[in-house]
Structure 1
Amino acid sequence: MFVDGSPSTDSRRLPPAIADYRIVRGLGAGSHGLCYLAIPPDRLGLGVEHVALKVFSNPCGEDAFHRGARELRTFAAVDSVYLVKLYEAALHDLFMYSMVYFAGGSMATPAMPLPRDHALAVLECAARGAHDMHEAGLVHGDIKPANVMIAGANSGGPAGDNPPGALSGLGLARVITAATAVSGIGSSATLEFADPDTLVGQTPSRATDLWALGATIHRALTGEGLYGELPDMQPLVAIRTVQSTKPKLSESLSPAERDLISECLAPHSDRFRTAAELADRLGSLRTAQR
C-alpha cells in the first residue's frame, strides 16, 4: 500500500515507503507512472544501496498483474548486458517493479551533458539490447529516449561487461491496462517514436523497433522531433500529424548520421536487417567522432 495515498515525485509529498521499499526521492514521471529512487528491502539480498522503483498510475487487477509479471519474467530471461536488470514485480494496489538504478538518468533526461561520442555509445547499447530481445523472439514495442538508460561514471565501452547504457521500459501498459488504443498511449508526444504503420494495425516487429530506434537517435542527437513538437495532451491531433506528415531530419545532423537515421525510417524492406547492424553503424560513427 502507498503510505500516504497517492504517489508523487514532489519532495513535499513523497511517501516514506511503498510496500517494503524505502523511498529516497522521485526520479520523474513517465507516460504511465512514476519512478522513485528507493532502498530495497533486505529480503531481496541484492547487495546494492539503491534501486529504481517504477509504479504504474492506474489501478491493476490480479489478472492484469499476472500478465504484466509474465511479460517482465520473459524480458528478464533474455541474457543481455544491454537490457536493464529487473529485480521483482509486485501488486500493492498499483502494479510496481524494481530494477537497477542508473545514475546517469536517461537519454530523455540525462543527469549531465553528454559528449556526442558518449551519446552514440549509449545509443549503440540500446540497439544491441533491442537486437538481443529480437533474437530471443521478443519485440520491445516502446523504444524512446526515456527508456534508454545511462550508466554512471564507471561504465566501460559498449562491448564490455559494464556498458555505458541499457534498454529499459518494456511496453507493459498494453498488457496491464484495459485502455483503448488512443488513451493507452500515455503522452501523445511519444507517438514521435512509433512507426506510423503500427497506428494502422501493423504488428510490432523488428522493423517497427528499428523505426523507434531511428526516431530515438534523432531526438537524442538533435533535441528535435521528426514532426516538430507534437501536442502532449492531444492524442488525436498527434496521430493525424504523424499519419499525414513526412518525418523531417534536423539540419544539425552530419551526413553519416542522416544516412543512418534515414535507413531506420525507410520502408520496411529497406531498413537495417537487424538492430545489431544499426549498432555496428553507431559504433563506427562513435569511432569517427574521436
Structure 2
Amino acid sequence: MDATVAPRMIADYEVVRPLGEGNHGHYFVARPPARLGLDEEFVTLKVFGDRVAEQAYDRGVRELRAFAAVRSEYLVRVYDAVLEDTFVYATEHFPLGTLAAPARPLAREEALAALEHAARAAHALHEAGMAHGDINPTNIWLAEQADGTVGGRLSDLGLTRFLTPGNTMTGMGRPSSVEFTDPDILAGAVPSRRTEVWSLGATAHRALSGAGLYGELPDTQPLLAIRRVLAKPAEIDPGLDEPDAALVRDCLAAGEARLTTAEQVADRIAQLPR
C-alpha cells in the first residue's frame, strides 16, 4: 500500500487522508463507522504491511484487548480491529502528531511531558504483566490536555512479534528503529521492564538532543544498521545538558546500575529542569 495515496475505504472506515508510514505499516485518518457508536469525528487507522493469517489475527486481537484493559490515562484508546487481508486497527486520533513528527515545533516542557507520560504508560503495562515491545518516538502521540497543555500517549503495542513471529527484522520495524532497541533484544532477549527502560532512555535521548545514540542509521539497509549497533556502544550526545545526559546514562546502564522500572524513569523526567 502506498502511504501517500489514501484509498476511499478501508473495511467500513471512510478514509480522509494518509498520515504516513510507521513501523510495520501505514497510518490513515478516517471517519469511524456508526456501528462503533463513537462521538469522535476521526480515528487513526493502522494498516499492517504484511498479510496476516486468521490465527495470527486472533492473537493480535487478544493482545489489543489486553492492552485496552490496562488502566492508564496515558495509553492510546483502541476502538476496533478488523482483518482485511492484513491486520487493521483503529485508535483515537491526535492531530498534534507524534514525538517523532509533531505537527508543530515542541517546547522543551511539552517534549518532557510526552516522555514522562509514555514512561508512566509503559509502567502501567508492566504492572499488568505486559511488555510494549516497540517504544520509540513514533509510538508516542501528542495529546492536548484538558488544561490546554500538551502531554503524551503511548500507542502501537509491538504486535508484529505475534502477527509475523518468524520475521525477525519486521519484528523490529524499520532498520533505524534499532536505535531504540536494547542490544540484549538483538542478542535474543524478550521485551521486559529492563529492556524497555533502555528504550525509554534512547527515546528521551533522541527527543531531547535530536541525535541518535549511534548517529543516523541507514533506513534502507537493515543489516548495516544492526551491524553498526552491535559494533559500537551507544554514545550520548555531548551537547545534551548534564541532567538529561544523566537520565539517559541511568536508563542505558549495565547491570544493577540501570533504573529498574519505567515509573522511576517517569519520576526522573518529571524532575528535569524545564
TM-score, normalization: structure 2?
0.96
Q: Hey, what does 1:130 align to over in structure 2?
A: 122
Q: Hey, what does 1:243 align to over in structure 2?
A: 230
Partner amino acid, structure 2, of 1:262: R
**Residues 1-290 of structure 1 correspond to what in structure 2 (within 5 A)?**
7-10=1-4, 13-152=5-144, 154=146, 164-285=151-272, 288-289=273-274
SS at match of 2:196: helix
Instruction: Provide the C-alpha distance between the structure 2 equivalents of 1:80 and 1:264, rounded to a whole number of angstroms.
Output: 22
Q: Hey, what does 1:160 align to over in structure 2?
A: none
Instruction: Provide the C-alpha distance between the structure 2 equivalents of 1:258 and 1:268, rounded to a whole number of angstroms.
Output: 18
Deviation at 1:156, TM superposition (A): 5.5
Instruction: Provide the C-alpha distance between the structure 2 equivalents of 1:20 and 1:187, rounded to a whole number of angstroms.
Output: 29
Instruction: Verify the 8 A CA contact 1:139 1:206 in the aligned structure 2.
Output: yes
Instruction: Verify the 8 A CA contact 1:155 1:164 in the aligned structure 2.
Output: no
Partner amino acid, structure 2, of 1:43: R
SS at match of 2:144: coil
Q: Which moved more, 1:117-126 or 1:197-206?
A: 197-206
Deviation at 1:183, TM superposition (A): 4.4
Deviation at 1:153, TM superposition (A): 6.6
Partner amino acid, structure 1, of 2:181: A
CA RMSD across the alignment: 1.4
Instruction: Verify the 8 A CA contact 2:164 2:170 in the aligned structure 1.
Output: no
Distance 1:170 1:134, change over 3 A: same
Instruction: Provide the C-alpha distance between the structure 2 equivalents of 1:183 and 1:82, rounded to a whole number of angstroms.
Output: 26
Instruction: Provide the C-alpha distance between the structure 1 equivalents of 2:182 and 2:151, rounded to a whole number of angstroms.
Output: 27
Cα displacement string for residues 106-129 of structure 1 (whole angstroms, at most 9, x for unaligned residues): 011001100111100110000000
Instruction: Provide the C-alpha distance between the structure 1 equivalents of 2:83 and 2:147, rounded to a whole number of angstroms.
Output: 33
Cα displacement string for residues 207-249 of structure 1 (whole angstroms, at most 9, x for unaligned residues): 1000000000111111110000111122221112111211111
Deviation at 1:85, TM superposition (A): 0.5
Gaps of 5+ in 2: none
Instruction: Provide the C-alpha distance between the structure 1 equivalents of 2:221 and 2:63, rounded to a whole number of angstroms.
Output: 29
Partner amino acid, structure 1, of 2:39: G
Q: Which moved more, 1:258-267 or 1:228-237?
A: 228-237
Partner amino acid, structure 1, of 2:65: R
Instruction: Provide the C-alpha distance between the structure 1 equivalents of 2:119 and 2:220, rounded to a whole number of angstroms.
Output: 29
Instruction: Verify the 8 A CA contact 2:24 2:170 in the aligned structure 1.
Output: no
Instruction: Verify the 8 A CA contact 2:17 2:29 in the aligned structure 1.
Output: yes
Instruction: Verify the 8 A CA contact 2:160 2:170 in the aligned structure 1.
Output: no
Distance 1:93 1:26, change over 3 A: same
Gaps of 5+ in 1: 1-6, 158-162
Deviation at 1:148, TM superposition (A): 0.7
Instruction: Verify the 8 A CA contact 2:143 2:151 in the aligned structure 1.
Output: yes
Partner amino acid, structure 2, of 1:250: D
Cα displacement string for residues 268-290 of structure 1 (whole angstroms, at most 9, x for unaligned residues): 421112111111111111xx32x
Deviation at 1:178, TM superposition (A): 4.5
Percent identical among aligned pairs is 49
Residues matched between the structures, number = 274
